[in-house]
């Protein structure tokens, strides 16, 4: 319906209030953290490439994995997003690298060596590592080979129409990030 128009009208009203309160010599910058254009090629290529190579396996049925929300889940859903994101699911089975069943319910973790959750600017990939992830199946000794295979897969990927590569870079997490919470981030970022 008119939801988007309503949002923009509300933003305009708030901006008008802000401008009325600002001194004449002040500058006001309006910045969007996300563009409104399309994203050709990547990152939409990440899940299909992982699936095509058998590295990520879709769950047989989304309905079989779905459950009705608990009272706790319904109450949490009513909270503002800033508070809601702080609540973790109740069991490790429902929590993989910070995402809930609703985000990753279509993935068969018991048969997936890696998995992806779409990000707006990069495709992100997590390895499904035994001992780290609830249904991890990749042994520590297999990690290096899987990493090398994934990097080659994305570096060699080409657009079917143009024949050109569309992946600028594949970054290992440790090449991009440092700090005590680095392990909460994806293992790979496909640009």
Q: Quote the tokens at residue 80.
A: 């503002």
pLDDT at residue 167, rounded to an integer = 86
pLDDT at residue 9, rounded to an integer = 92
Q: What is the pLDDT of residues 62-95, one digit of tens each?
A: 444 445 566 766 676 666 544 554 554 444 444 4
Alpha helices in 22-114 (DSSP H): 46-52, 62-65, 71-77, 81-84, 101-104
Closest CA to 48 of 171, 188, 186, 159: 159
Residues of the chain with pLDDT under 70: 33-44, 61-70, 72-74, 76-104, 117-122
pLDDT at residue 119, rounded to an integer = 52
pTM: 0.60
- DSSP conformation class of 8: H
Write the DSSP assignment of 133-160 as a string of letters: BTT--B-GGGHHHHHHHHHHHHHH-B-T
> What does the buried/exposed string (b/e) look like for 122-155 if buried means 16 or more CB atoms within 10 Å of the residue's CB?
bbbbbbbbeeebeebbbeeeeeeebbeebbebbe
pLDDT at residue 134, rounded to an integer = 77
**How many residues would you count in the chain?**
191
pLDDT at residue 117, rounded to an integer = 65
């Amino acid at each position: 319906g008119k939801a988007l128009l309503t949002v923009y009208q509300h933003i305009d009203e708030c901006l008008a209030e802000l401008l009325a309160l600002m001194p004449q010599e002040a500058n006001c910058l309006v910045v969007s953290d996300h563009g409104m254009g399309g994203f050709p090629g990547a990152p939409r290529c990440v899940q299909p490439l992982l699936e095509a190579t058998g590295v990520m396996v879709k769950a047989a049925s989304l309905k079989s994995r779905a459950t009705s929300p608990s009272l706790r889940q319904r109450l949490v859903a009513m909270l503002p997003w800033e508070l809601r994101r702080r609540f973790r699911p109740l069991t490790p089975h429902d929590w993989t690298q910070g995402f809930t069943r609703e985000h990753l319910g279509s993935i068969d973790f018991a048969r997936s060596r890696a998995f992806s959750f779409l990000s707006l600017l990069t495709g992100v990939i997590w390895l499904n590592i035994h001992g780290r992830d609830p249904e991890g199946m990749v042994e520590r000794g297999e990690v290096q080979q899987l990493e090398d295979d994934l990097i080659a897969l994305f570096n060699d990927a080409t657009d079917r129409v143009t024949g050109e590569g569309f992946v600028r870079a594949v970054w290992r997490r440790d090449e991009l990030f440092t700090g005590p919470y680095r392990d909460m981030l994806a293992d790979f970022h496909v640009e």
